[in-house]
Amino acid sequence: MSAITLKVNGQSHTLDLDPATPLLYALSDDLELRGPKFGCGLGQCGACTVIVKGQAIRSCITPVRAVAGSEITTLEGIGTADKPHPIQRAFIEEQAAQCGFCVSGVIMTAKAFLDKHPRATEEEIRQALAGVLCRCFTGVRMLRAIHRAGQEMAR
């Protein structure tokens, strides 16, 4: 075990962890964050996605030692109930979430992409989200919400 400092959603946390511990476990078990979810545990489904250095990463396969000291953003860090991020607001307005399991991964992947490409086309958005699995078939509404958020973020 080692003292590992993680900067999550603007706050610094020092945790006593094995440096090889998956970031997802530190976020969910130690910090009690519920945005990133355990899906496949192999980095293939995207349910565990968080943003580090502007990049969407899979926290289930990222050891805490790889992100120690870096700013980590989870779904809880991008907006509040009173002031949601444009992408969160768009998901609400488009009723784009169904079961909610993948939605954090979709939103975080889309946010990282839209931060760099707010004027993305629907096809570019589809490609950016190709690695996030959703089994509820709300993809059309999600794409509409992401496109809507991109337009707002581009202003």
Distance from the first to the final alpha carbon of the chain: 47
Domain of 13, CATH number, reads 3.10.20.30
Q: Are residues 99 and 36 in the same domain?
A: no
Per DSSP, the residues of 62-78 read -BHHHHTTSEEE-GGGS
Count how many domains the chain has: 2
Q: What is the DSSP letter of 24?
A: H
Least confident of 13-27, 55-69, 99-113, 127-141: 127-141
For 30-66, the pLDDT digits (tens) are 999 999 999 999 999 999 999 999 999 999 999 999 9
**113's tokens:** 């992409």
pTM of the model: 0.93
Domain end, chosen from 57, 77, 97, is at 77
Range of the domain at 104: 86-154
Cα-Cα-Cα-Cα torsion 9, 14, 20, 24, nearest 10 degrees, comes to: -30
How far is it, in rounded angstroms, from Cα 138 to Cα 147? 14
Characterize the bridge pairing of strands 2-8 and 11-17.
antiparallel
